[in-house]
Amino acid sequence: MNQQHHLFWIIIITALTIMLGAQLYQKKRSPNQNNKKIRLFGKIIGHKRWHVGSIAYGIARKIYFREGDLVKQGDLLVDIDIAIGDKEIYEAKASLERAKAIALYARATFERQKALYEADQISFDAYQQFERDMKSAEADVSNQEALLAKRIKSFSTTKIYAPGSGYITKMHITEGQLAATLVMADKLMEIENIDMVQAELVVPVDTAEHLTNDQEITITLNNRKDIITCSIKSIEPLTFGKNAIVLTKPFKNENHRYKPPMIAVALVSKVKNMTSTPPQHIDPDVPDRPTREPQLETVEQVLGLILSQPSDVPEELRGRDPEKFTHAVRSP
């Protein structure tokens, strides 16, 4: 009887132990919904960016910098050949001087003829003809002045200067290529100032709804060697698709260590009310290694993977030097 009694209590204790262990395991596997963690992926961008274009219609005759070069504000970037040079300007100046001389002679002639008319020496019709000649000559002076100003302005727009200091992150033109169309200015290159940089991250819209401005965010850079803590500046949905762009507040970039478009991996903690977000966008544990190892050759492919699979961290991303990517920035 005592043996059956002991066996009964052993079964009860074992069952309670299993139930308690299951509850603890489930609690560990299902963390508090008010303390979720989300991984975001994107790239580093400069705090200031300029899109350099040309309003002059012509051919890029000379390009003085290459993609990845460091330029300073005021540096000459491109010479545009629009078939207007010093010769045309000199000709316009000569035409203006000739028009001024003719106008001066016409006015002097008119003044003499006016005196003769007042003395009843010439007819009124003759007087009017001299007056018309004078006004026509003076109008020609105004036309020549406008033509010279147009030639000078056209010549000045053939030289494209850097609007600010930074790295040329993208070059859209080569020597010999048309610099602008007849109806719009073309973008020649992009310059980014990286004294301070930001992270531009991609996140699904349904996840972005649970993020807020000024929320703390942790960014890992340089193949996870550097960890930056900053905050969210803005969250903007894209005009197409189901993603949004999260932009962080700028942070210092000493010695230009981080250069666009270096890959940035970010972690947002303590995200509230995430009960309906798909599991692939929530990462409570943040595993150390990825589950996939796709082959990546260019930054465009990396960003394409980021947009399509925001929860995967490619193995190649950990071991490659970001400066070897296509469009990577070179040191000056």
147 and 93: one domain? yes
Question: Is residue 117, in this structure, part of any structural domain at all?
Answer: yes
Domain end point (choices 134, 156, 178): 156
Confidence of residue 206 (pLDDT cuts 50, 70, 90): confident
126 and 196: one domain? no
118 and 245: one domain? no
Report the CATH number at residue 286. 2.40.30.170
41 and 53: one domain? no
pLDDT reading at 269 higher than 70? yes
Q: Within its chain, how far is the Cα of 218 from the centroid?
A: 23
Question: Is residue 175, in this structure, part of any structural domain at all?
Answer: yes
127 and 221: one domain? no
53 and 184: one domain? yes
229 and 302: one domain? yes
User: Rounded to whole angstroms, how far apart are CA atoms 57 and 184?
Assistant: 9
Confidence of residue 184 (pLDDT cuts 50, 70, 90): very low
User: Rounded to whole angstroms, how far apart are CA atoms 55 and 186?
Assistant: 8
Question: Is residue 330, in this structure, part of any structural domain at all?
Answer: no
Report the CATH number at residue 61. 2.40.50.100
Q: What burial class does residue 88 get, using C-beta atoms within 10 Å of its C-beta: 0-12 exposed, 13-18 middle, 19+ buried?
A: middle
103 and 222: one domain? no
Give me 56's structure tokens.
């002059």
112 and 170: one domain? no
Question: Is residue 308, in this structure, part of any structural domain at all?
Answer: yes
Report the candidate in 227, 164, 238, 176 with the shortest Cα–Cα distance to residue 201.
238
pLDDT reading at 73 higher than 90? yes
Question: Is residue 264, in this structure, part of any structural domain at all?
Answer: yes
User: Rounded to whole angstroms, how far apart are CA atoms 325 and 268?
Assistant: 27
Report the candidate in 263, 296, 269 with the shortest Cα–Cα distance to residue 284.
269
Q: How far is CA 250 from CA 200, 228, 280, in A?
A: 11, 11, 28
Per the structure, the complete domain to which residue 92 belongs is given by 86-156
- Residues in contact with 71: Cβ distance below 8 Å, sequence separation at least 6, in sequence order: 65, 77, 162, 165, 166, 167, 168, 191
Confidence of residue 208 (pLDDT cuts 50, 70, 90): confident
Question: Is residue 15, in this structure, part of any structural domain at all?
Answer: no
Least confident piece of the model among 12-21, 124-133, 279-288: 279-288
- State if pTM tops 0.75: no
User: Rounded to whole angstroms, how far apart are CA atoms 223 and 106?
Assistant: 79
37 contacts 269 by C-beta, under 8 angstroms: yes
Mean pLDDT over 244-273 rounds to 86
- Residues in contact with 156: Cβ distance below 8 Å, sequence separation at least 6, in sequence order: none
254 and 214: one domain? yes
117 and 231: one domain? no
User: CB neighbours (10 Å) of residue 32?
Assistant: 10
Question: Is residue 18, in this structure, part of any structural domain at all?
Answer: no
Question: Is residue 132, in this structure, part of any structural domain at all?
Answer: yes
293 and 314: one domain? yes
More confident residue, 123 or 312: 123
pLDDT reading at 179 higher than 50? yes
**Is beta strand 251-252 parallel, antiparallel or unpaired with respect to 263-271?**
unpaired
Intra-chain end-to-end CA distance of the chain, in Å: 90
Q: What percent of the chain has pLDDT over 70?
A: 68
User: Rounded to whole angstroms, how far apart are CA atoms 227 and 319?
Assistant: 17
Report the CATH number at residue 130. 1.10.287
How many domains is the chain partitioned into structurally?
A: 3
